Structure 1
Amino acid sequence: MKRDYDIHSYRRQYGEGDPVYILDTAKVKGKCKKLSRPWKGPGKVVKQLTPDLYRVKLRNSISTVHQDRLKPCRDREVPDWCQGSDEVDAETLYCLCHQSYDETRFMIGCDKCDDWFHGDCVGVTPGENLNIDKYYCPPCSSKG
């Protein structure tokens, strides 16, 4: 049965820097799923981890996504942050814990100060980040 399924399955390949949308199947409490947008993004493919897994950077988060949950972005106008190839620099990304960037840990970016934080340091899981429209870090949220 697996052999028959694999014959008809389609594996789409994405390159680094390709703009993509991520399928959002999460149900948010208090919001109607029928009226919610099914796709989050656009985002940018940062790295291909395996033939099926990709690391995708949305505006305020970086997450690992299977290729079945991605679709190419064919918008006429793509946001500026999504274009170009900005490398993730281990020297510039610091968290509240003052540790450098580690690609195995989930990170989320603040929409106010544009700083990046480890998800476990600020109490945000990779599943919760898909439901957050705008994230404000603890220093920015305490300022008001």
Structure 2
Amino acid sequence: MFDTKVALIVRDDLAGWQRLNVTAFLATGIAAAAPEALGLPYRDSAGNQYGNMLGQPMLVFQADLAGLQSAHRSALERGLAIVPYVYSMFSTGHDEANRQAFLAEDPQALNLVGLGLRGPKKAVDKAIKGLSLHP
């Protein structure tokens, strides 16, 4: 049905509120990276208009840090759209601070707590191989 796939990966040792927060930010990042994937706005039978959402499913997976780092390396090798979230971003309060926190990370050992991926189905499947769906 879709030739692309979206996978959101959240670290398995986070508190519930952190998992939800990371998932929400990753989803917005995927939507921004692929505006062509957005569906049309919704309307109810009274004519009220609502916002639009991504027009394809987003599957949420969980992984430990090593699993996230492996998926990240694989996604880079395959040229996927990547939306990262690192642990230090929990202590920031705005977008510029998030970018500075990310820039300070070692690109070979990102302290990832979340990763959003989008690209061809087979490439995404290879990047997330071995990861389990979030319960």
Query: If the length of structure 2 is used for normalisation, what is the TM-score?
Result: 0.24
Structure of higher RCO (CA pairs closer than 8 Å, 6+ residues apart) = 2
Query: If the length of structure 1 is used for normalisation, what is the TM-score?
Result: 0.23
Bigger share in helix: 2
Larger-Rg structure: 1
